[in-house]
Structure 1
Amino acid sequence: MTELTAPTTRLHSAWLQAHAEWGPGLHEDGFGLRPSDEVESPAGFAAWVALLADASTPKAVAAGQGCTYRWIVEGDRVHGGIALRHGPNDEVRQFGHIGYGIRPSSRQRGLATWALGQILDEARALGLDQVLIVCEVDNLASVKTIERHGGVFEEIRDTEHSPVRRYWIKI
């Protein structure tokens, strides 16, 4: 059964397999991974998981700076990640409230659509009435996922890396 689970050190090996599948230099939305994060060693991975947990504490959420991270898991296989930024802050304005990514071998199974529906329920529970979702212009799979959940296209905006589509979903 597929579930959204909070990041956990129990899935270190499974997460590393998903991470390796993206390949070096590729972008993994939804995991909150920064270039400075060391995730190979058990200690480094545990420190990173702790940082993700700290981002979703009531204090961070109350300050509007929080982020809820969830992994898309089936058994002991990590299919991807999804993040709900609680903003309104610069990160939300640039990247949206929600970011997600599915590992290449798990795509085209409806996992992103399912996970987005689940995280929209969490956004509703936080009291958000609408969320911004941003995707790369040529990511047609993400466009379909967003539109399936009622995403309304706002604009294409140039960013530092590439042009992106911006969508709003009313909750």
Structure 2
Amino acid sequence: MKVFTQSVLALSLLAMGSAHAFELKSNDIQEGHPMAKTFEYNSWGCDGGNQSPQLTWSDVPEGTKSFAITAYDPDAPTGSGFWHWIAFNIPASVTELPRGVDIKKLGGQESRIDYGSVGFGGACPPKADGMHRYQFTVWALPTEKLDLNQNTPSAVIGFTLNNMAIDKAKLTATYTR
């Protein structure tokens, strides 16, 4: 009976909003909505502003010592998706990135993405390929520094993040050309 009572109490607290979930928000992009051309790549046939969006996260999980940020297009016609941004070793004191952020100035690091460059690479789906989803994810990590570098393959970084993250928060925007 005691376990049942504790379970009911825990569910009641969740229903009342006492428990907070790790959350990612943006002033620039909204869940399920198209992104502006400001966030389109400026190469590969695209001519956007290639700016990373402003991102803010809250209700950081206990034990977080650093963050990673990724942007991924699962709809890219590659068979393996397309990595648009991989940043890590972002200090735990950082909970907001301004538009067009320089990750190095925050003490973080970025890795090579699928465009072949290091840093943010905006949306650039093939013309007439329909709507693509762009999943921006902030990862709460239990270590200050990941033993990765700018040449670590994106799949290895994705594996590392998925296996060690305390929690993650995701915001998915869309883009069509």
**Both proteins in one fold, TM over 0.5:** no
Larger-Rg structure: 2
TM-score normalized with structure 1 length: 0.27
Which structure's relative contact order is higher, taking Cα pairs within 8 Å and 6+ residues apart?
Answer: 2
TM-score normalized with structure 2 length: 0.26
More helix by percentage: 1
